[in-house]
């Protein structure tokens, strides 16, 4: 083991002696992480208004009060009358039926209809539903506090009359702090889609762990193979296993150092709220590190395989980039997997980046612990073993 | 006395190609043994099998009595390999390179520092020891390449064309270092396709081509295989059979190579003498445009053995 460590530390020193590797490891990933966190900051429907077309077939004072509540409830409302509704396109449409005000005042059941077009965004549709429930609860709460008694049921045809002062009292109740609020929370198997820094920080970490090692490591292995230092090592008392073990350990160490650099960068971004970004690694920092160790192993194995396959340093540089990009895209490092087509989501499971992202989202976004990292760790270890085995078979040590 | 290196009936076959075809030789302590042959003759493949990089298809390699097949680690500890390519870490300094390779063999602390300092001085790089190797000239890199093979003070040093691609001055420096290594009691196996190097450096030589040893011995012994005397080269408008017939009529004149328009003949010391030999050829009615007379060298021997020049 001492000999393997000797080789791994030497290779790591060599890796850092190359200025371009220093740039790729420290400067570029940090910049990317910061940039994407800023660009994606506040993304998703959480902080933006959701478009909602309202067909007000009632046009009574209660329907107008309800629409006012929609506008204060994070909706971008467009109001149409019933006649214009047939000729106007929409993403989401809420229909307030004729007689809404009278029916509510008469304590009769009223149905509001929310319709979504085929082209509407699922995330924004979900947000619209939740916000509509919130407005509904707020509106009903105010009505209850308004305290109007039900009209005489023996005279159903009578139209309730509301005095102006009484109307003003209802509007004041609607403007006041509500008694009942509806909070939203995803339950069961449904999960929020990571967005903003919650997506970009884990994504950049996962991507650069593979990019830095695959490009720099494969290029370095190819250079050693072509330059003769690898076969020179094989003429020493080091066995082939020790040489490849040293290379694997070095590559794994580089991957973990890259992870630590970006974890520190993510921590700094969240701690100082740089550019208003809100991010935290959460309470289970240790599980993140634990989950990333087999990922580093998988990345090291993959790089050994690439180093064995590449014939020139130019190949290593260009194809290393390509491999890193494909792994990042397919593993969900650039965008949430939830927005990818179903087939791509299934295919993602065959990429180690997917399992690394699963660790990070499980721990960081969903706040889980060991239960989130157990299965990914096993899968990533299997990836590592397979890649390292293939790499050992492919890598030509003896010139 | 057990030879430091003993190679027995070594073969290496790659598919249809026989790269090494049953070579056997031994090298004694303190000896510089040369492998002289053109590119592709099988020199590097032989070295690769001797140092354990390639498994032989057949045959055996013994270093100080230890078999590389049975005890590779034990044998490798005794070997210092200097590959044909400059296998150094360009980003690191000369000192760092030597320290790394010394560390590979378990050297550390003061012993490593002293050894590295000594080597840097020996190869003339002590004043540039802290500089990245990528700034070095080709000759300096070659010297470092050599020093890296010596850092653990091996018993047997395998040098595979260590002077390829460098200027005469740098080559001279490397040859001096190799002589010094041998003078210190180390054994050297030296491959080259440069005749002058082989003649100047090696105590004994094997001439190798197409994976086989064609001749072996000291430089004097090898030259003697052509016969003592002078080498006569003639060029003119004659046909090969005409010259062969004329030479056959002159006692003591041995043909080395004869083709249309050109012939190489050895005039034995006990033979007719150069003047008489030429007279004999003229009397046969041959006319020459150019006549060269010289002492035979290893190039001529190689030509005699293979029918082609060493640098073909």
Q: Is residue B46 less than 8 Å (CB to CB) from chain A?
A: no
Q: Which of B88, B91, B103 sits opposite A17 (nearest CB)?
A: B91
SS3 (DSSP) at B17: strand
Q: What is the pLDDT of residue B175?
A: 92
User: Is A145 in contact with A172 (CB distance < 8 Å)?
Assistant: no
CA–CA distances in Å: residue A193 to residues A118, A199, A325, A339: 20, 9, 22, 9
Within 8 A of A239 by CB-CB distance, chain B residues are: 73
Q: What is the pLDDT of residue A189?
A: 43
Residue length of chain A: 399
- The single residue listed with the structure tokens 């006649």 is A83
Chain A residue with minimum CA distance to B82: A232
Q: Order across the sheet with B204-209: list the strands.
A: B79-82, B156-160, B187-192, B32-36, B204-209, B212-217
Q: What is the pLDDT of residue B31?
A: 93
Chain A residue with minimum CA distance to B55: A398
Nearest to B146 by CA among B183, B171, B169: B171
Q: Is residue B79 less than 8 Å (CB to CB) from chain A?
A: yes
Q: Which of A6, A18, A236 sits opposite B91 (nearest CB)?
A: A18
| Mutation to test the A interface, candidates B14, B43, B51, most A Cβ within 10 Å | B51
CA B75/CA B59 separation, integer angstroms: 16
| Per-residue DSSP letter, A55 | E
Q: Which residues pair with A80 in a beta bridge?
A: A55
User: Is A231 in contact with A397 (CB distance < 8 Å)?
Assistant: yes
Within 8 A of A241 by CB-CB distance, chain B residues are: none
User: Is A41 in contact with A196 (CB distance < 8 Å)?
Assistant: yes
Residue B176 Cα, gap to closest chain A Cα (Å): 24
User: Model confidence over B49-59: pLDDT tens digits?
Assistant: 999 889 999 99
Q: Is residue B110 less than 8 Å (CB to CB) from chain A?
A: no
Mean pLDDT over residues B211-235, rounded? 81
CA angle A227, A231, A232 (to 5 degrees): 90
CA angle B292, B297, B303 (to 5 degrees): 85
Question: If contacts are CB pairs under 8 Å, which of residues 215-254 in chain A contact chain B?
Answer: 227-229, 231-239
Mean pLDDT by 10 residues, chain A (399 residues): 89 85 87 82 58 90 90 84 81 90 87 82 77 88 79 58 82 80 57 68 91 89 89 91 94 94 88 75 84 94 92 86 91 83 89 92 79 89 95 81
Q: Which of B88, B92, B105 sits opposite A236 (nearest CB)?
A: B105
B53·A398 Cβ contact <8 A: yes
Mean pLDDT over residues B71-76, rounded? 91
Residue B107 Cα, gap to closest chain A Cα (Å): 12
The phi-psi region of residue B158 (left if phi > 0; otherwise alpha if psi is between -120 and 50; otherwise beta) is beta
The token duo for A370 is 């060991």
Query: Which helix (DSSP H) or strand (DSSP E) does residue B279 occupy?
Result: helix B274-283
A14·B76 Cβ contact <8 A: no
pLDDT band (50, 70, 90) for residue B293: confident
Q: What is the pLDDT of residue A188?
A: 45
* Mean pLDDT for all residues in chain B: 88
Cβ-based neighbours of A362, under 8 Å, separated by 6 or more: A368, A371, A372, A373, A376
- Rg of chain B over Cα atoms, rounded to whole angstroms, equals 23
Q: What is the pLDDT of residue B116?
A: 95
Within 8 A of A232 by CB-CB distance, chain B residues are: 81, 83, 87, 148
Q: Which residues pair with A78 in a beta bridge?
A: A53
| Mutation to test the A interface, candidates B46, B52, B81, B104, most A Cβ within 10 Å | B104
The token duo for B278 is 């030429």
Residue A17 Cα, gap to closest chain B Cα (Å): 6
CA A140/CA A329 separation, integer angstroms: 46
User: Model confidence over A363-398: pLDDT tens digits?
Assistant: 887 777 788 888 999 999 999 999 999 999 988 876
Q: Which of A18, A237, A399 sits opposite B77 (nearest CB)?
A: A237
Within 8 A of B134 by CB-CB distance, chain A residues are: none
Query: Which helix (DSSP H) or strand (DSSP E) does residue B126 occupy?
Result: none
- Rg of chain A over Cα atoms, rounded to whole angstroms, equals 30
* B269 vs A248 pLDDT, higher one: A248
Residue B310 pLDDT > 70 = no
Q: What is the pLDDT of residue B2?
A: 79
Phi–psi pair at A325, nearest 5 degrees: -65, -45
Q: Is residue A5 less than 8 Å (CB to CB) from chain B?
A: no
User: Model confidence over B145-199: pLDDT tens digits?
Assistant: 999 999 999 999 999 998 888 888 888 888 999 999 999 989 999 998 888 888 8
Q: Exposed, middle or buried, B307 (CB in 10 Å: 0-12/13-18/19+)?
A: exposed
Chain B residue with minimum CA distance to A231: B53
| Mutation to test the A interface, candidates B61, B74, B75, B91, most A Cβ within 10 Å | B91
Q: What is the pLDDT of residue A195?
A: 64
B76·A237 Cβ contact <8 A: yes
User: Is A332 in contact with A339 (CB distance < 8 Å)?
Assistant: no
Q: What is the pLDDT of residue A190?
A: 46
Q: What is the pLDDT of residue B266?
A: 81
Residue A226 Cα, gap to closest chain B Cα (Å): 9
Q: What is the pLDDT of residue B101?
A: 93
The token duo for B24 is 């056997």
Q: Exposed, middle or buried, A170 (CB in 10 Å: 0-12/13-18/19+)?
A: buried
Nearest to A51 by CA among A88, A9, A99: A88
Which CATH code for domain B226-306? Answer: 3.30.70
Within 8 A of B85 by CB-CB distance, chain A residues are: 227-228
Residues of chain B with CATH 3.30.70: 226-306
User: Is A208 in contact with A29 (CB distance < 8 Å)?
Assistant: yes
Within 8 A of B88 by CB-CB distance, chain A residues are: 229
In CATH terms, B5-222 corresponds, of 3.40.50.300, 3.40.50.970, 3.90.1170.50, 3.90.1150.10, to 3.40.50.300
User: Is A182 in contact with A134 (CB distance < 8 Å)?
Assistant: yes
Cβ neighbours, 10 Å, residue B101: 25
The token duo for A186 is 């995803």
Which CATH code for domain A50-175? Answer: 3.40.1710
Task: DSSP for A26-38, please give it.
Answer: IIHHHHHHHHHHH
Cβ neighbours, 10 Å, residue B204: 18
SS3 (DSSP) at B86: coil
Q: What is the pLDDT of residue B224?
A: 73
| Mutation to test the A interface, candidates B87, B95, B154, most A Cβ within 10 Å | B87
Phi–psi pair at B299, nearest 5 degrees: -60, -45
Nearest to B304 by CA among B257, B258, B265, B269: B257
């Amino acid at each position: 083991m001492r000999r393997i460590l000797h080789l791994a530390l030497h290779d790591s020193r060599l890796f850092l002696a190359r200025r371009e590797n220093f740039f790729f490891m420290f400067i570029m990933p940090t910049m990317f992480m910061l940039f994407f966190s800023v660009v994606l900051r506040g993304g998703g429907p959480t902080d933006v208004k959701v478009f909602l077309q309202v067909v007000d077939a009632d046009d009574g004072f209660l329907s107008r009060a309800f629409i006012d509540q929609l506008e204060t409830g994070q909706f971008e409302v467009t109001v149409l009358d019933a006649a214009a509704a047939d000729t106007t396109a929409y993403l989401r449409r809420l229909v307030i039926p004729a007689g809404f005000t009278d029916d509510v005042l008469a304590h009769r059941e009223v149905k509001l209809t929310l319709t979504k077009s085929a082209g509407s965004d699922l995330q924004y549709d979900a947000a619209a539903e939740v916000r509509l429930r919130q407005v509904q609860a707020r509106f009903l709460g105010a009505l209850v506090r308004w305290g109007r008694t039900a009209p005489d049921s023996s005279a159903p045809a009578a139209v309730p009359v509301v005095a102006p002062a009484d109307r003003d009292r209802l509007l004041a109740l609607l403007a006041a702090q509500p008694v009942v609020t509806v909070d939203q929370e995803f339950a069961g198997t449904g999960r929020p889609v990571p967005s903003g820094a919650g997506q970009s920080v884990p994504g950049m970490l996962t991507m650069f762990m593979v990019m830095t090692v695959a490009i720099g490591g494969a290029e370095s292995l190819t250079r050693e193979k072509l330059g003769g230092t690898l076969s020179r090592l094989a003429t020493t008392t080091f066995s082939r296993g020790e040489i490849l073990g040293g290379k694997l350990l070095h590559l794994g160490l580089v991957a973990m150092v890259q992870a630590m650099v970006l974890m520190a960068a993510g921590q700094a971004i969240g701690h100082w709220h740089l550019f208003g970004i809100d991010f935290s690694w959460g309470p289970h920092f240790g599980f993140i590190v634990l989950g990333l160790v087999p990922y580093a192993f998988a990345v090291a194995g993959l790089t050994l395989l690439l180093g064995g396959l590449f014939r020139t340093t130019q190949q290593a540089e260009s194809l290393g980039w390509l491999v890193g990009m494909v792994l990042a895209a397919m593993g969900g490092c650039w965008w949430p997997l939830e927005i990818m087509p179903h087939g791509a989501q299934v295919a993602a499971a065959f990429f180690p980046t997917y399992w690394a992202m699963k660790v990070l989202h499980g721990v960081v976004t969903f706040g889980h612990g060991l239960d989130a990292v157990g299965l990914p760790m096993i899968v990533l270890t299997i990836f590592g073993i397979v890649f390292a085995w293939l790499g050992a078979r492919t890598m030509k040590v003896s010139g | 006395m057990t030879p430091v290196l003993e190679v027995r009936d070594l073969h290496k076959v790659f598919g249809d190609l026989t790269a090494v075809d049953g070579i056997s030789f031994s090298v004694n302590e303190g000896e510089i043994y040369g492998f002289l042959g053109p590119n592709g003759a099988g020199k590097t493949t032989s070295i690769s099998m001797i140092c354990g990089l390639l498994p032989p298809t057949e045959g055996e390699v013994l270093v100080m009595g230890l078999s590389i097949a049975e005890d590779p680690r034990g044998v490798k500890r005794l070997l210092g390999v200097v590959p044909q390519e400059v296998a150094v870490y360009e980003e690191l300094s000369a000192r760092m390179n030597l320290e790394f390779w010394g560390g590979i063999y378990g050297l550390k602390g003061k012993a490593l520092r002293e050894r590295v300092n000594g080597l840097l001085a020996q190869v003339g790089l002590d004043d540039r020891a802290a500089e990245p190797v990528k700034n070095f000239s080709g000759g300096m890199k070659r010297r470092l390449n050599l020093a890296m093979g010596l850092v653990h003070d091996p018993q047997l040093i395998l040098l595979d064309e260590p002077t390829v691609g460098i200027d005469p001055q740098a080559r001279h420096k490397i040859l001096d270092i190799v002589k010094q290594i041998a003078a210190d009691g180390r054994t050297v196996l030296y491959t080259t396709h440069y005749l002058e190097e082989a003649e100047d450096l090696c105590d004994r030589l094997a001439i190798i081509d197409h994976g086989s040893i064609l001749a072996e011995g000291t430089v004097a012994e090898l030259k003697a295989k052509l016969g003592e005397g002078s080498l006569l080269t003639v060029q003119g408008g004659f046909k090969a059979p005409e010259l062969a017939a004329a030479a056959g009529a002159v006692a003591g004149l041995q043909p080395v190579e004869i083709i249309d328009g050109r012939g190489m003949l050895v005039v034995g010391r006990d033979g007719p003498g150069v003047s008489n030999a030429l007279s004999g050829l003229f009397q046969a009615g041959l006319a020459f445009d150019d006549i060269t007379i010289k002492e035979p060298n290893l190039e001529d021997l190689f030509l005699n053995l293979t029918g082609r020049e060493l640098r073909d």
